[in-house]
Amino acid sequence: MTRSPIPPLRVALITGGTTPERDVALAGAGEVVRALRASGHEVTAVDTVYGELGPDREGNALALRVGHRPPRESELARLRRMEDLPGLLRLPAIRSADVCFLVLHGLDGEGGRVQAVLDLGGRTYTGSGMLASALAMEKKAAKRVLLGAGIPTAPFVVCDRDDPDPWRAEIEALGLPVIVKPSRVGSSVGLTRAESHEDIRPAVAKARRHDRLVLIEEMLPGREFTVGIVGSDEEGPQALGVGEIVAHGGLFDYHAKYTPGLADEIFPADIPKSLERRLGELGVATHRALQLRDFSRVDFRLDAAGEPAVLEANTLPGMTTRSLLPQSAASVGICFPDFCDRIARLAADRR
């Protein structure tokens, strides 16, 4: 007996946002739209600022290339004045969708704001729920949850003002260099490597432009890795391929991520099977500890003894074909359209 094909879904792809990662979201959205349509789904693109894009506007809006620097804060402030997140629930594309596919970054998406709106409207969406998203986005809180679960993470200090002097003893205990970054921003925006105590104050001030809470973290000396996670709660999340990140300037910041030639992303990583298994196990454990859903990407760095420590978990990672999560999937044989289809259907199954 022949099985009937799985019916296609009506998908509202929500993207844009008004965070420094807006360009990254739009670039990924264009590729996800094409991938979902290639799998037979009916897709309408929705910008959190401009609403339903429609065929006439979609091409220009989603053909964006990510620049070497995030958008100017003045432009983001203008867009924030226009954005109406509760108004998303009034859009026909979202009201009629089987699934809302989120391609958002920063506080709009990874921080749980859009998820909260969709929950209020009873809409089904891809990825983690509001509370888990907010927890994972808040690096300070997420690290404390991981430590409580026995999952190693890089030692850190939290600074909530421009002046880091009150935390000088704790910072000195971390050793130099240190990594200074905003607590609730993604795409490595505002990230700085501070080589001396004199570098820390301007690094904190730079990070504070993006978030009042700043994380000062020990710079672990070993190699940097990432692993994708995917799967339903019923089946259990599974680790995808492990990749290694080699930043030629020593720091995988926004500039290095989106400037060709400044970093190598090697999939699969050339590492012993024992380390590959360990990274996969820690990735799954991190996903579970933070109560994430559908998919995530977990980043690691090795300490001086060669042991992995979690840097952070990404609940809505970049979704261009060259982003780290799709590369992690491709390295174990899952092509980009199939990966996008799987994410959409994981969410649809919850309906």
- Between CA 351 and CA 100 the distance in angstroms is 12
H or E segment at 25?
helix 22-38
Neighbouring residues of 111: CB distance < 8 A, sequence distance ≥ 6:
133, 134, 137, 184
Q: Which residues are catalytic?
A: 21, 187, 258, 297, 299, 312, 314, 318
The SS3 assignment for 182 reads strand
**Whether residues 274 and 187 fall in one domain:** no
**Whether residues 280 and 328 fall in one domain:** yes
Query: Angle CA(225)–CA(230)–CA(232) in degrees, nearest 5?
Result: 150
- Between CA 136 and CA 293 the distance in angstroms is 12
Instruction: Say which CATH number the domain at 164 has.
Output: 3.30.1490.20
Residue 132 lies in a domain: no
Q: What is the pLDDT of residue 2?
A: 35
Residue 2 lies in a domain: no
**Whether residues 181 and 71 fall in one domain:** no
**Whether residues 266 and 171 fall in one domain:** no
**Whether residues 173 and 249 fall in one domain:** no
36-74: buried (b, 16+ CB within 10 Å) or exposed (e) per residue? beebebebbbbbbbebbbeeeebeebbebebeeebeeee
Domain boundary among 218, 235, 252: 218
Q: What is the pLDDT of residue 320?
A: 87
Is the CB of residue 216 less than 8 Å from the CB of residue 157? yes
In angstroms and rounded to an integer, the radius of gyration of the C-alpha atoms of the chain is 20
**Whether residues 268 and 328 fall in one domain:** yes
Task: Give the structural domain span for 160.
Answer: 156-218
**Whether residues 147 and 260 fall in one domain:** yes
Residue 3 lies in a domain: no
According to DSSP, the β-strands at 294-302 and 308-314 are: antiparallel
The count of domains in the chain is 3
- Between CA 227 and CA 282 the distance in angstroms is 9
DSSP conformation letters of 55-112: HHHHHHHH-PPPPSSPPPHHHHHHHHHH--SGGGGG-HHHHT-SEEEEE--GGGTTTS
Residue 250, Cβ density class (10 Å: 0-12 exposed, 13-18 middle, ≥19 buried): exposed
pLDDT averaged over consecutive 10-residue blocks of the chain (351 residues)? 65 93 90 96 96 85 68 86 95 98 89 95 97 92 95 91 78 88 73 86 86 88 96 90 86 63 88 98 97 96 95 93 94 97 95 77
- Between CA 13 and CA 205 the distance in angstroms is 35
Can you list the positions of beta strands (E) in 250-307? 263-266, 294-302
- Residue at token pair 């226009």: 82
Q: What is the pLDDT of residue 186?
A: 62
Domain boundary among 218, 235, 264: 218
The SS3 assignment for 197 reads helix
Q: What is the pLDDT of residue 336?
A: 97
CA distances for 23 relative to 27, 187, 204, 258, angstroms: 6, 11, 24, 11
**Whether residues 144 and 284 fall in one domain:** yes
**Whether residues 276 and 329 fall in one domain:** yes
Residue 69 lies in a domain: yes
**Whether residues 182 and 323 fall in one domain:** no
Q: Which two tokens stand for residue 231?
A: 């799967």
**Whether residues 141 and 255 fall in one domain:** yes
- Between CA 216 and CA 20 the distance in angstroms is 20
Instruction: Say which CATH number the domain at 61 has.
Output: 3.40.50.20
**Whether residues 186 and 243 fall in one domain:** no
